[in-house]
Amino acid sequence: MNLREFEYLVALAEQRNFHRAAEICNASQPTLSAQIRKLEDELGVTLFERSSRGLILTQAGEAAVRRARIILHEVTQLRDEAAGHCADGTRRLHLGVFPTLGPYLLPHIVPQFMRHFPSMEILLTEEKSTILLQRLIDGQIDAALLALPVEDPQVTGQKLFCEPFHLAVPSGHVLAGQDRLSADALSGQRLMLLEEGHCLRDQALTLCRRYGAHEYDGFRGTSLETLRQMVVAGMGLTLLPQLACIGANAQNHIAFLPLEADGFQRNIGLYWRRSSNSGELMEKLSLIIAGVVAELMPQQG
């Protein structure tokens, strides 16, 4: 039993003539007749009464035709839906990104994505890294931009770029006039950091311990923008990733100082499920993101 037999059945029911039904199905009359007999044998019932007056549908035939029309309609719907997808079965990409990266990278990525994939829809989710990873594993999102390392056997991915951290200081601070700082300049400084749960907070705390800096007590930022505004207000210093610094010193109230030491950076990668069949799409997306970052941070290229 196959779809072609259902097409023959419906055509014959509508035309009540083997010759006309065969023409509509683009088949020979003997072929159509043989397939109808085969279908009757498989179902164990007579579908058509053959008489001198023509073909008459039996009650079993009427029931079979109704069911065949439903099946053919569903197949048509399936084909139409599949036609709206890319070759890998995707017509919508649900991308996750963590909050200290999303606002500074997504506005540059999304237009490029839409230009390269005009028929696809991109959905965005901004969450902390641990939540994104779990949603990725659970199939709630298709891919996620995450800070390395990402160690889970259910996901795969690749590093896209390295983003340095800069020390953000008020424009009137004693360090503000320097082009670059050695890590020793952090010794004794009090840095404002993000609240618990941000991977950037953990990295900043590690650097503080390594170079003798301390966390600013009594304040923890909910976002990088909050930290930046606190620096502008002269409340203290903080570490910001480079993408968050681009264009942010336009008001001339803040200075971003590169640090000459290993470890003042984060590595960003794109990750997706190993079981996904969208590897080709992810490779193309990786190239788009890497190209955007190379334009934003050419010195890192």
* pLDDT attached to residue 148: 93
- Number of folded domains that form the chain: 3
Q: Are strands 54-57 and 48-51 parallel, antiparallel or unpaired?
A: antiparallel
| Domain end (from 54, 81, 108) | 81
**How many C-beta atoms lie closer than 10 Å to residue 93's C-beta?**
20
* pLDDT attached to residue 249: 59
- Non-local CB neighbours of 273 within 8 Å, separated by 6+ positions: 136, 137, 139, 154, 155, 156
**Residue 183 identity:** A
Rounded to an integer, what distance in angstroms lies between the CA atom of residue 148 and that of residue 164?
Answer: 14
Q: Is residue 301 part of a domain?
A: no
- Exposure of 152 in the CB half-sphere (CA atoms within 13 A): 20
> Hey, what are 279's tokens?
């590897």
* pLDDT attached to residue 301: 47
Do residue 175 and residue 251 come from a single domain?
A: yes
Do residue 187 and residue 52 come from a single domain?
A: no
Rounded to an integer, what distance in angstroms lies between the CA atom of residue 287 and that of residue 86?
Answer: 18
Q: Is residue 261 part of a domain?
A: yes
* pLDDT attached to residue 211: 85
Do residue 242 and residue 168 come from a single domain?
A: yes
Q: Is residue 188 part of a domain?
A: yes
> Hey, what are 110's tokens?
């999304």
For residue 173, give its domain range: 164-265
Per-residue pLDDT of the chain (301 residues; tens, 9 = 90+): 889 999 999 999 998 999 999 998 989 999 999 999 999 999 999 999 988 778 899 999 999 999 999 998 888 777 756 655 555 555 788 999 999 999 999 999 999 999 999 888 899 999 999 999 999 998 889 999 999 999 999 999 999 999 998 889 888 888 887 877 888 888 888 888 988 888 888 888 888 888 888 888 878 888 899 999 888 888 888 999 999 988 765 556 888 888 887 778 899 999 999 988 888 899 999 999 999 999 999 875 4
Q: What is the DSSP letter of 249?
A: T
Q: Is residue 286 part of a domain?
A: yes
| Domain end (from 64, 81, 98) | 81
Q: What is the CATH number of the domain that holds 146?
A: 3.40.190.10
Q: Is residue 277 part of a domain?
A: yes
Provide the whole-model pTM. Answer: 0.69
* pLDDT attached to residue 82: 64
Rounded to an integer, what distance in angstroms lies between the CA atom of residue 70 and that of residue 155?
Answer: 40
Provide the β-strand partners of residue 270.
145, 158
- Exposure of 29 in the CB half-sphere (CA atoms within 13 A): 5
